[in-house]
Copies of this chain bind each other. A is one copy, B any other.
Amino acid sequence: MSTTTSPGRPRIVIIGCGFGGLEAARKLQSAEVDVTVVDKTNHHLFQPLLYQVATAGLAAPSIAAPVRLLFRRQPNVTTLLGEVTQIDPAAHEVHLADGTRLAWDHLIVAAGATHSYFGNDGWARMAPGLKTLADAFEIRRRVLMSFEAAEVEPDPVRRRALLTFAVIGAGPTGVEMAGTLAEIARHTLEGEFRRIDPGSAEVLLIEGGARVLQAMPESLSQRALEQLQKLGVQVRLNARVTSIDEKGLQVESPFSDGGAGTGSHRIDCHCVIWAAGVAASPLGRLLGAATGAETDRAGRVKVLPDLSLPGHPDISVVGDLAAAMSHRPGKEPKPVPGVSPGAKQMGRAAAANVLRRIAGKKTVPFRYRDYGNLATIGRNSAVVDLGTPFGPLRFSGRLAWLFWLFAHAYFLIGFRNRIVVLMDWASAYWSFQRHARVVAEVRGKGES
């Protein structure tokens, strides 16, 4: 039994073990501090590939690493599985749902984000989002079961609705989901059904804005749109979802004949996937209320340049929970985008500032280094926008897709996972198959 809590050593509590929390803890590796990492799951999730679990391309363990295992060789870290219910800045304590209280000298909050249904929380049941492994399993189940139900549905109208898939929101996750769903319908399931033609399924990508991948330069958005259409995805831009029920959704979108104004359209479909809104973890507002820190509309906490909170230099917020700015000497501060490199860099920066403060030094403002942006669309198609010393480098198509593929494999945690994921991709590429097309029974029902 190893225990590492030593009296007198500064206690650092990190809430959340996503990209931000993990990098913060790693940065503290050789410091004379006691770190406690609290997460409400037992694993760190490589979220950029979560859509592959949802679309049956990867098994969950390929993109999830046990938190304990990650810190096995870092003896100054204690891992706790638990849900944070309150943060008490005056008592310097974090409260967990099971009653445990954790005392800290420095707190790093990296609790991440969840879905936002823009006030329509009732939509969650009909249109699951994609943030956790459980979400991914649920989407996998709905997608595969829609084809199964269509195969035995005698009514052609209901069958058509079962073979219609709607993805709401054309950010990176929505684009990946829609592209992969089209691929599953056209290729993966080919020849496996006897009554329906899975290739006749319709995949709709519904976006409120004027283009897909709005974080990308306009030329790449255009490329992505073309690649999506080539894969068979029907992209509806400037389209606003006004209601979702069990049998479909209502969308307000421009008239397709190019006439002025918009019309309200009904789309009958059973499988709706929500990739539109992101909201900060509810811990953001709790923290705001407890410390007086401001939160923005998405519930993110506004932080000082060094990522700490106004009046609370011992509390830092990083990752998707932080409304942070990047500070480059002599330039206007710019908002840090909500991407994984941003979370990782903030995690490291916050930990470094904690160490500076412990050493009695001045903290430094956070500066985000933007190495570029990439998104995949489907088989052989992706868009890449890299920042180089010579200016931006933009490309799309098969080369971009290979770049995306190796970049993601590179950042995956664990040698085994990298090998298995590359193997799965290679076999999926050559065979058009997806090996994780498995839906577990609901327990207690599958047993008879």
A137: chain B residues at CB < 8 Å are: 440, 443
Q: Contacts A3-B195, A4-B194: A446 and B41 contacting too (C-beta < 8 A)?
A: yes
Contact in complex: A69, B2 (CB < 8 Å): no
Contact in complex: B132, A440 (CB < 8 Å): yes
Asked whether any CB of chain B lies closer than 8 Å to the CB of A262, the reply is no
Residue-wise, chain A 143-162 has the 8 Å CB interface mask toward B (1 for contact) of: 01100100110000000000
Contact in complex: A152, B438 (CB < 8 Å): no
Contact in complex: A427, B435 (CB < 8 Å): no
Residue among A80, A189, A447 facing the most chain B CB atoms (10 A cut-off): A447
Contact in complex: B152, A82 (CB < 8 Å): yes
Please classify how large the interface on chain A is, using the bins under 10, 10 to 19, 20 to 34, 35 or more: 35 or more
Contact in complex: B2, A438 (CB < 8 Å): no
Residue among A61, A131, A423, A437 facing the most chain B CB atoms (10 A cut-off): A61
Give the shortest distance, in Å, between A54 (CB) and chain B (any CB): 12
Residue-wise, chain A 305-319 has the 8 Å CB interface mask toward B (1 for contact) of: 000000000000000
Contact of A100 among B100, B128, B152, B437 (CB under 8 A): B152
Asked whether any CB of chain B lies closer than 8 Å to the CB of A196, the reply is yes
Instruction: Count this chain's copies in the assembly.
Output: 2
- Who on chain B is nearest to A77 by CB? B194
Contact in complex: A72, B192 (CB < 8 Å): yes
A361: chain B residues at CB < 8 Å are: none
Give the shortest distance, in Å, between A48 (CB) and chain B (any CB): 17
Asked whether any CB of chain B lies closer than 8 Å to the CB of A42, the reply is yes
A134: chain B residues at CB < 8 Å are: 440-443, 446-447
- How many angstroms between the C-alpha atoms of A1 and B191 in the bound complex? 7
Contact of A62 among B59, B193, B417 (CB under 8 A): B59
Q: Contacts A137-B440, A438-B42: A115 and B447 contacting too (C-beta < 8 A)?
A: yes
Asked whether any CB of chain B lies closer than 8 Å to the CB of A433, the reply is yes
Contact of A447 among B43, B78, B132 (CB under 8 A): B132
A379: chain B residues at CB < 8 Å are: none
- Who on chain B is nearest to A61 by CB? B436
Contact in complex: A152, B423 (CB < 8 Å): no
Give the shortest distance, in Å, between A110 (CB) and chain B (any CB): 15
The A contact surface, by secondary structure, is: loop
- How many angstroms between the C-alpha atoms of A442 and B42 in the bound complex? 12
- How many angstroms between the C-alpha atoms of A189 and B2 in the bound complex? 12
Give the shortest distance, in Å, between A352 (CB) and chain B (any CB): 24
Contact in complex: A447, B59 (CB < 8 Å): no
Contact of A42 among B128, B135, B433, B439 (CB under 8 A): B439
Asked whether any CB of chain B lies closer than 8 Å to the CB of A257, the reply is no
Contact in complex: A151, B435 (CB < 8 Å): no
- How many angstroms between the C-alpha atoms of A233 and B286 in the bound complex? 47
Residue-wise, chain A 43-71 has the 8 Å CB interface mask toward B (1 for contact) of: 10000000000000001111010101101
Asked whether any CB of chain B lies closer than 8 Å to the CB of A252, the reply is no
A194: chain B residues at CB < 8 Å are: 1-5, 78-79
Contact in complex: B4, A68 (CB < 8 Å): no
Q: Contacts A41-B439, A115-B447: A197 and B416 contacting too (C-beta < 8 A)?
A: no
Contact in complex: A437, B42 (CB < 8 Å): yes
- How many angstroms between the C-alpha atoms of A62 and B151 in the bound complex? 26
Q: Contacts A41-B441, A440-B133: A448 and B114 contacting too (C-beta < 8 A)?
A: yes
- How many angstroms between the C-alpha atoms of A439 and B67 in the bound complex? 11
Asked whether any CB of chain B lies closer than 8 Å to the CB of A105, the reply is no
Residue contacts A-B, CB under 8 angstroms, 24 given: A1-B196, A2-B191, A40-B441, A42-B144, A42-B148, A43-B438, A68-B193, A69-B192, A69-B437, A78-B194, A78-B195, A81-B151, A83-B448, A98-B152, A115-B447, A132-B440, A134-B447, A135-B443, A137-B440, A281-B448, A416-B424, A419-B423, A420-B420, A420-B423
